[in-house]
């Protein structure tokens, strides 16, 4: 679908939950003009921009979370090239004073845990909680068109500043150190240059003895 010129998609956390994810959970046929659908376990983060409907620096997707074990609660976050790792605490999302969802931050690591290589790819995972939790859905929302049993989420993916210049959004520790050294070196050169200019600057003081001699 062609979007109007100048279209930008910048929803709030609460809007993502109440206007998009809640509707998707109730009706699997629901679609959004700016949110694609993807299996986060079958694509690598650097492939996401080409699978998105819109977005230049961040991209939105519906995704049914895959369970790591059929009878367990843990989510499978692995891909062929690496895995997504949760960082920090989950953030509560409210509509007014009512809890409606949760937001989890994940960072992508290349390779396999625990020796994965950290990247600059980050995703925010949104899920229903509280009043809109799948457990509180009406029976009418638990029919054949409902996807609540798959525990769907909305993912917002983005890449850090380094990702625009590094291979697939990865940056080596050595490259970080080199960049830090370059910044320090530039600061030292500027500082040295400033001192030299002060030393070479002509004196603006007035020789009073010379003036009074007249």
Q: Is residue 28 part of a domain?
A: yes
Q: What share of the chain has pLDDT > 70, as a percent?
A: 62
- 23 and 52 part of one domain: yes
- 71 and 118 part of one domain: yes
Q: Give the Cα separation of 110 and 191 in Å (integer).
A: 40
Closest CA to 64 of 90, 91, 41: 41
Give the range of the structural domain holding residue 192, as residue numbers without chain letter.
171-196
- 142 and 56 part of one domain: yes
- 88 and 24 part of one domain: yes
- Contacts for 78-82 with beta carbons within 8 Å, 24 or more apart? 78/41, 79/40, 79/41, 79/42, 79/43, 79/44, 80/42, 80/44, 81/44, 81/110, 82/44, 82/108, 82/109, 82/110, 82/111, 82/112, 82/116, 82/117, 82/119
Q: Is residue 101 part of a domain?
A: yes
Q: How many CB atoms lie within 10 A of CB 114?
A: 7
Q: Is residue 165 part of a domain?
A: no
Please count the structural domains in the chain: 2
Per the prediction, the chain carries an average pLDDT of 77
- 115 and 59 part of one domain: yes
- 182 and 140 part of one domain: no
Give the three-state DSSP class for 207.
coil
Most confident of 49-58, 116-125, 135-144, 173-182: 116-125
pLDDT of residue 208: 38
- 53 and 99 part of one domain: yes
- 55 and 113 part of one domain: yes
Q: Is residue 67 part of a domain?
A: yes
**Cα distances (angstroms) measured from residue 204 to each of 143, 208, 214:** 87, 12, 20
At residue 48, does pLDDT exceed 50? yes
- 138 and 43 part of one domain: yes
CATH number for the domain spanning 37: value is: 2.170.150.80
Most confident of 3-12, 16-25, 169-178: 16-25
Section 51-55 average pLDDT:
91
Q: Is residue 211 part of a domain?
A: no
Q: What share of the chain has pLDDT > 90, as a percent?
A: 49
Q: Is residue 20 part of a domain?
A: yes
Residue 121's contacts (CB-CB under 8 Å, 6 or more residues apart) are 45, 46, 107, 108, 157, 158, 159, 160, 163, 169
pLDDT of residue 37: 95
- 106 and 186 part of one domain: no
What is the pTM for the complete model shown? 0.70
- 155 and 183 part of one domain: no
């Amino acid at each position: 679908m062609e979007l109007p010129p100048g279209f930008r998609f910048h929803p709030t956390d609460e809007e993502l939950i109440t206007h998009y994810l809640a509707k998707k959970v109730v009706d699997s046929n629901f679609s959004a003009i700016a949110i694609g659908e993807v299996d986060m376990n079958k694509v690598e983060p650097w492939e996401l921009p080409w699978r998105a409907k819109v977005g230049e620096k961040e991209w939105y997707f519906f995704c049914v979370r895959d369970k790591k074990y059929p009878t367990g609660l843990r989510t499978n976050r692995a891909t062929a090239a690496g895995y997504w790792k949760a960082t920090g605490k989950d953030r509560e999302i409210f509509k007014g004073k009512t809890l409606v969802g949760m937001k989890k931050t994940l960072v992508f690591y290349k390779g396999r845990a625990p020796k994965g290589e950290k990247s600059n790819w980050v995703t925010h995972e949104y899920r229903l909680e509280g009043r809109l939790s799948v457990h509180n859905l009406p029976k009418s929302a638990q029919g054949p068109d409902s996807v609540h049993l798959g525990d769907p989420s909305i993912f917002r993916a983005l890449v850090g500043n380094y990702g625009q210049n590094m291979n697939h959004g990865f940056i080596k520790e050595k490259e970080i150190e080199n960049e830090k050294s370059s910044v320090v070196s530039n600061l030292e050169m500027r500082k040295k240059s400033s001192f030299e200019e002060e030393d070479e600057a002509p004196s603006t003081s007035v020789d009073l003895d010379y003036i009074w001699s007249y």
